[in-house]
């Protein structure tokens, strides 16, 4: 598993959820884990995550 450098969006890499207190790692291009998503496609595309 590789972490995406800050400010990048590289498919196949992971990044930390943007929610301040959330430690989960999610795959790019997503920016928030399933629990913290606010977009309208929340039921169409499930975001998997890794707990550190």
pLDDT at 8: 92
Q: How far apart are CA 19 and CA 2, in angstroms?
A: 20
CA 40 to chain centre: 16
Q: pLDDT tens digits, residue range 4-46?
A: 998 899 999 999 999 999 999 999 999 999 999 988 887 888 8
**Residue 29 in tokens:** 């291009």
Looking at the 3D structure of the chain, how many domains does it have? 1
pLDDT at 35: 92
pLDDT at 50: 87
**Residue 8 in tokens:** 């990048």
Torsion of CA 4, 6, 7, 12, to 10 degrees: 10
How many CB atoms within 10 Å of residue 46?
Answer: 10
The residue segments making up the domain with residue 35 are 1-52
């Amino acid at each position: 598993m590789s972490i995406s450098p800050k400010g990048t969006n590289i498919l196949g890499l992971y990044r930390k959820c943007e929610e301040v207190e959330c430690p989960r790692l999610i795959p790019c291009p997503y920016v928030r884990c399933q629990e913290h998503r606010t977009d309208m496609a929340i039921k169409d595309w499930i975001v998997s995550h890794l707990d550190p």
